[in-house]
């Protein structure tokens, strides 16, 4: 059997939570490998809805080892808060159930201050961050000044790093007219929380190596999506980490040969949160209808998502750069009742037809979608669990998407309920 990496194939919010939960029942280890607590996953288990941000989706399944890898930036206060929140729903997480990489970097209060101050200073040029300090934390990581989980066990290391971070960041805060941070207060806060975090810390690479040797199924859970990748997305309107499948290896501490099947998640239409280019965006009643039917609001932020038609050009590019073997297509039922559906098959840029998403920031805002119109369907697809339960036109829509994105649909989701899933190709069986 193969290990599986799950990544988003659009701009995030594709429904990864449900798909990861659906797959996690068959996995023995579930790993988060990048991002921070800005990525929300909603899981519906029976009559209980879990809204996760930092915790891997596998935590809702008893008997699974859930891991937060070194590629994740961790707000330790948000980490404990989320553990406490799910505990109120009856989900008690202990160190033996949840492992936090000792080499993961921490999000500190100063990172949130900088994130929010920077966005305010940008004015109309805002990137659209969640203001939770993700970007500044990654900046400190690559700048080799971050506080890591393992540092929490070394008071002298914390003292030195707190002083250095205060010196480094206060110059910037001072320039923006913001309040400066006190290194002693930062040190005291870290020393206070350290005993609560360290019991969860450990050698993730070692645990994963043992799992591979034992032949256990590992599920690698990505956050955000390929088109938000800091290298391959719509830069600068991207997240601060790599979201492609290659990061599953780097961000967890396992060799790339141990990752078998890469499953991309894509909605049957397109959404985006925050600023940035969006060629197929609909600002009319159709866009509002997609948002209402799809309940398009951020799990963690509550922000309204922008909606538009399916963009096959963008998803095809995400498949190639993300290393995706097959797609889980979600929210097909949102398209029920539309007389005509549109799919973007190409772009026009300054009069020329192109078949890719341009890299230039200005060019990305100028591309115009080229649409192909497809016949919609009137029957409901909600809750369908087999191809036989789908209208003929819905199947034609899916087949046409497969042709355009040059990848097969491996799973089809027809409602938030985990059982309402049509399995076409088992990702754990490996690549074809």
Q: Which residues are catalytic?
A: 13, 41
Q: Are 124 and 78 contacting, i.e. CB atoms less than 8 angstroms apart?
A: no
Q: Are 241 and 247 contacting, i.e. CB atoms less than 8 angstroms apart?
A: yes
Q: What is the dihedral of CA 273, 276, 281, 286, to 10 degrees?
A: 30
Cα–Cα distance measured from residue 74 to residue 232, given in angstroms and rounded to the nearest whole number: 23
Cα–Cα distance measured from residue 105 to residue 197, given in angstroms and rounded to the nearest whole number: 13
Cβ-based neighbours of 12, under 8 Å, separated by 6 or more = 39, 223, 224, 225, 228, 272, 273
Strands, E assignment, 155-213: 201-202
Exposure string of 40-74, with b = 16+ CB inside 10 Å and e = fewer, is: bbbbbeeeeebebbbbbbbbbbeebbbbbbbbbbb
Where helices occur in 214-311 by DSSP H, the ranges are 246-250, 285-293
Q: Is 384 left (phi over 0), alpha (psi -120 to 50) or beta?
A: beta
Helix (H) or strand (E) holding 151: none
Cα–Cα distance measured from residue 37 to residue 52, given in angstroms and rounded to the nearest whole number: 8
Exposure string of 157-167, with b = 16+ CB inside 10 Å and e = fewer, is: ebbebbeebbe
Bridge partners of residue 44, in order along the sequence: 49
What is each CA distance from 105 to 101, 124, 130, 172, 196, in whole angstroms? 9, 31, 18, 21, 16
Q: Report which of 201, 272, 266 is spatially closest to residue 412, judged by C-alpha positions.
A: 266
Question: Half-sphere exposure (CA, 13 Å, Cβ side) for 250?
Answer: 10
Which tokens hold the place of 51? 């809204």
3-state secondary structure of 127: coil
Cα–Cα distance measured from residue 356 to residue 366, given in angstroms and rounded to the nearest whole number: 13
Cα–Cα distance measured from residue 4 to residue 11, given in angstroms and rounded to the nearest whole number: 20
């Amino acid at each position: 059997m193969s290990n599986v990496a799950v990544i988003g194939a659009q701009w995030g919010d594709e429904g990864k939570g449900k798909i990861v939960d659906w797959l996690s029942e068959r996995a023995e280890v579930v790993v988060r490998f990048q991002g921070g607590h800005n990525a929300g996953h909603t899981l519906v288990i029976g009559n209980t809805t879990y809204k996760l941000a930092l915790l891997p989706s596998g935590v809702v399944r008893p008997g699974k080892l859930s891991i937060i890898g070194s590629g994740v930036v961790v707000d330790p206060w948000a980490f404990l808060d989320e553990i406490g929140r799910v505990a109120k729903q009856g989900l008690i997480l202990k160190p033996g159930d949840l492992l936090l990489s000792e080499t993961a970097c921490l999000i500190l209060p100063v990172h949130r201050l900088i994130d929010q101050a920077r966005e305010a200073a940008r004015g109309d040029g805002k990137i659209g961050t969640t203001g939770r300090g993700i970007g500044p934390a990654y900046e400190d990581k690559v700048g080799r000044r971050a506080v890591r989980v393992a540092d929490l066990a070394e008071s002298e290391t914390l003292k030195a790093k707190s002083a250095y971070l205060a010196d480094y960041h206060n110059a910037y805060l001072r320039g923006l007219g913001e309040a400066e941070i006190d290194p002693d207060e930062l040190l005291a806060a870290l020393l206070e929380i350290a005993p609560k975090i360290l019991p969860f810390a450990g050698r993730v690479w070692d645990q994963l190596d043992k799992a591979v040797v034992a032949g256990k199924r590992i599920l690698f859970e990505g956050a955000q999506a390929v088109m938000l990748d800091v290298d391959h997305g719509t830069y600068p309107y991207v997240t601060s980490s790599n979201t492609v499948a290659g990061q599953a290896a780097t961000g967890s501490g396992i060799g790339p040969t141990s990752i078998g099947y890469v499953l991309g998640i894509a909605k049957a239409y397109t959404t985006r949160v925050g600023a940035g280019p969006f060629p197929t965006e609909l600002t009319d009643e159709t866009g509002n209808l997609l948002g209402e039917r799809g309940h398009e609001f951020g799990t963690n932020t509550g922000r309204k998502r922008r909606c538009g038609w399916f963009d096959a050009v963008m998803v095809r590019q995400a498949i190639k750069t993300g290393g995706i073997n097959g797609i889980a297509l979600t929210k097909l039922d949102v398209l029920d009742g539309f007389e005509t559906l549109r799919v973007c098959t190409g772009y026009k840029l300054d009069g020329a037809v192109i078949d890719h998403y341009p890299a230039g920031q200005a060019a990305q805002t100028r591309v115009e979608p080229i649409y192909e119109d497809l016949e919609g369907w009137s029957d409901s697809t909600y809750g369908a669990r087999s191809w036989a339960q789908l209208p003929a036109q819905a199947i034609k829509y899916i087949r046409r998407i497969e042709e355009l994105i040059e990848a097969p649909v491996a799973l089809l989701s027809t409602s938030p309920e985990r059982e309402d899933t049509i399995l076409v190709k088992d990702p754990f069986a490996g690549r074809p």
